[in-house]
A and B are shown apart, each in its own frame.
Chain A
């Protein structure tokens, strides 16, 4: 065997480089408790080590031992660039030897990677690529594909290096990466190349088919979305309300066994499917429409709890646990709980209550409370509480129009809230608040103490202002007519409200504060005297908020 072995001495660059990266982060962002804790890890030795590595890697690049594989501009921070470099030994790529380099204005801002040392292998293979194909085919009858095998230097788990042919094979056992010794033809390494993050198909509460982003592992498919940036996990609590309550109060933690799962990736549990899919849609909506990374803009995990109780237990539990039946709520820290609705034949207020996760607007509404929690933190009582609710309704409507066709049918976008699962009609309307007994004008506002000062009632006033600013129309109480920006420009008003509510409102904001903030946001985004500013100003006046 001509393979020469040597002990691999590889150095991790992570510690020093991470330290520098964190220095930059701390310098640019406002101080928070988390960043202060990070800053403690920074030390001068880390900076020096980074410079040392930068010099060394630059030399390697000049010598051809590192070659740039990819250059990408930073999509979030202008002026930043991310390079990926592969390590080579005498013209042969070193498998797993690579470096990720972040540049800021041409200067190295961070380095992460692994560089192998002490490589001493003969880079002339004794067997050729076709022979490597034959060896693998003969071994398991797999299809090795048309891709040419790649000659690599393989760091061995047991120490040393080997010149190897890397092949990707497809067989009944699955997809594998295989490494064949280029000198002897023996199999050096094999591992599964099946991507664990995948997509399944599910049927929602309303019977509609949709894709669901899940994780496959060990023949089990779990509601763990690995395709979106944050962790999105949906848990099937199987009616164990005690465990739900203990989890919500922090007494117990959830584990992988709580994750909703499916045996064949054809998901039939509608409430699970919709909770999981619509949480993803809401994340997408926030990202695509507002460039926001989830609830806290830092990709906080979203944890959804489905089936907190059993429908069949409604008559025993409803009095104490009604919120697990006819409600969905944001429980803080990215945690969502979806009520199971009411059994067939049981109505409340003359309405059928289906699983609450079956409505995109309900899911988006509740998650928008998380956005508020991590931004303006509007106090959940009186006018600030009503603004909190109104913002969630506005985001809910925005999400519907983003993903669904406009219309009045099931799973169509409109200005009702919850109409897909609370039938008929839903529970609120931004277009006609009074149809649900909610005020559409400030003069009609609820002034009692119930419902935290009418947060679900008085929300009709600002949310109706949103509606008028988009669609236009005449306020029934004031008789004032507003020329809206039109449905085609709905996103303008969405962005104005998003900007005002997440970045400008204080926690104790009143309706008047919201008026001022949204007008300012419209000016910021579209200019003074712009149609959005005019529409929003007129809309607030029409609902009596001056």
Chain B
């Protein structure tokens, strides 16, 4: 559903930019980029699941933290006609986060007298791999400075460790339960999102430059957990720098 909108935005972006002239157009056809950087993320999400315990329903609510982390990016672009081009980039983001769990656990002896057991699960790994297809607009060079604007759909694949159960300790008289550990499993899913951004580069050689990338990319993904889906946002603002090669 989101792809047509992105393409429209890209098209509009291109339409409002100055029409490149032949003299100003990049002479090169191919652009290679390699970047290291960070992805800022505020992709907190939550989950809730039930399980049967002592003949009643126990519930666990999980709040997942989501912090930014290092991102690696590499891409290739081809100038097709004048300042217009197309490209594809791949970004990879990996980060371990924590989650807070709040569980309500039935009492073994009494109905409707649940115990609260709160805890945290750490080391929940998230891996986001995205393929960004980009419509590119190559701004006319200004000396060694070059600028590329781009936008397009992004194809995300996410792997996320999620909490699937908790373990707790209890002892007589069982009026309290203490969180002891969380059971986790890795879920993965794919979704289509979008990306848009700019790449600015400073050519230090006729074919080699240093560049800075700023990209915003986003996708909403449903992770299929047993008996439920967990909605997760992927992506974020990516910024980094690296090498540029043009041919």
The contact of B54 among A211, A229, A288, by CB within 8 Å, is A211
Q: Which of B54, B55, B162, B172 has a CB less than 8 Å from the CB of A228? A: B172
Within A206-229, the residues touching B (CB, 8 Å) are 209-211, 213, 227-229
**Contact assessment for A145 and B164 in the assembled complex, using a CB-CB cutoff below 8 Å:** yes
Would B183 and A229 count as touching, CB distance under 8 A? no
Are the CB atoms of A211 and B109 closer together than 8 Å? yes
Chain B hits for A281, CB < 8 A: 109
Q: Bin the interface of chain B by size.
A: 10 to 19
Whether A419 is near chain B, meaning CB under 8 Å from some CB there, is no
Please, what's the 1-or-0 string for B31-48, where 1 marks a CB less than 8 Å from any CB in chain A? 000000000000000000
A227, B174: Cα distance in complex, Å: 9
* Main SS class of interface, B: loop
Determine the chain A residues whose CB is within 8 A of the CB of B186 once the complex forms.
146
Indicate which residue in A145, A147, A229, A280 contacts B109 across the interface (CB closer than 8 Å): A280
Is A10 located at the chain interface by the 8 A CB criterion?
Answer: no
B184 lies within 8 A of A146 (CB) = yes
Asked whether, in the complex, the Cβ of A146 is within 8 Å of the Cβ of B54, the reply is no
Are B164 and A211 touching (Cβ within 8 A)?
no
Asked whether any CB of chain A lies closer than 8 Å to the CB of B173, the reply is yes
> Contact check: which of A145, A199, A210, A284 meets B185 at CB < 8 Å?
A145
Q: State the majority secondary structure of interface residues on A.
A: mixed
B165 within 8 A of A: yes
- Total interface residues in chain A, CB < 8 Å: 18
Total contacts A-B at CB 8 Å:
42
Contact with A along B171-188 (1 / 0, CB 8 A): 011100000000111100
Tell me, in angstroms, the Cα distance from A229 to B174 when the chains sit together: 11
A213 touches B109 (CB 8 A): yes
Known contacts: A199-B55, A227-B172, A288-B173. The answer to whether A147 contacts B110 by CB under 8 A is no
* In the assembled complex, B111 has its CB within 8 A of some CB on chain A: yes
Q: Which B residues are in CB contact (< 8 Å) with A3?
A: none
**Measured between C-beta atoms, what is the minimum distance from A199 to chain B in Å?**
5
Contact B165 A199 (CB under 8 A): no
Which one of B55, B111, B174, B183 lies within 8 Å of A145 (CB-CB)?
A: B183
B108 within 8 A of A: yes
A56 to B21, CA, bound (A): 85
B173 lies within 8 A of A284 (CB): yes
Q: For residue B109, which residues in chain A have a CB less than 8 angstroms away from its CB?
A: 199, 211, 213, 227, 280-281, 284
The answer to the question of A82 belonging to the interface, with a C-beta cut-off of 8 Å to chain B, is no
Residue A201 CB within 8 A of the other chain: yes
User: Are A211 and B55 touching (Cβ within 8 A)?
Assistant: yes
Minimum CB distance partner of A146 in chain B:
B185
Chain A residue at minimum C-beta to C-beta distance from B184? A146
- Contact A147–B184 (Cβ < 8 Å): yes
B110 touches A145 (CB 8 A): no
Cβ contact within 8 Å between B173 and A146: no
Whether A287 sits at the interface, judged by CB under 8 Å, is yes
B55→A201 contact, CB < 8 A:
yes
- Please provide the chain A residues from 185 to 213 with a CB less than 8 Å away from any CB of chain B in the complex: 199-201, 209-211, 213
* Residues of chain A with a CB closer than 8 A to B164's CB: 145-146
What are the residues of chain B within 8 A of A211 when measuring CB–CB? 54-55, 108-111
With a cutoff of 8 Å between Cβ atoms, the chain A residues found around residue B172 in the complex are 227-229, 287
Binary interface profile of A, 125-155, with partner B (CB < 8 Å = 1, else 0)? 0000000000000000000011100000000
Residues of B within 8 A of A201 (CB): 55
Q: 1/0 per residue A217-260: CB within 8 Å of B?
A: 00000000001110000000000000000000000000000000
A residues with a Cβ closer than 8 A to B are 145-147, 199-201, 209-211, 213, 227-229, 280-281, 284, 287-288
Can you give 26 contacting A-B residue pairs, CB < 8 Å?
Answer: A145-B164, A145-B165, A145-B183, A145-B185, A146-B164, A146-B185, A147-B183, A147-B184, A199-B54, A199-B55, A199-B108, A200-B55, A211-B55, A211-B108, A213-B108, A213-B109, A227-B108, A227-B109, A227-B174, A228-B172, A229-B172, A280-B109, A281-B109, A284-B109, A287-B173, A288-B173
Other than the known A146-B186, A210-B111, what 7 A-B pairs have Cβ atoms closer than 8 Å? A146-B184, A200-B55, A201-B55, A209-B111, A281-B109, A284-B109, A288-B173
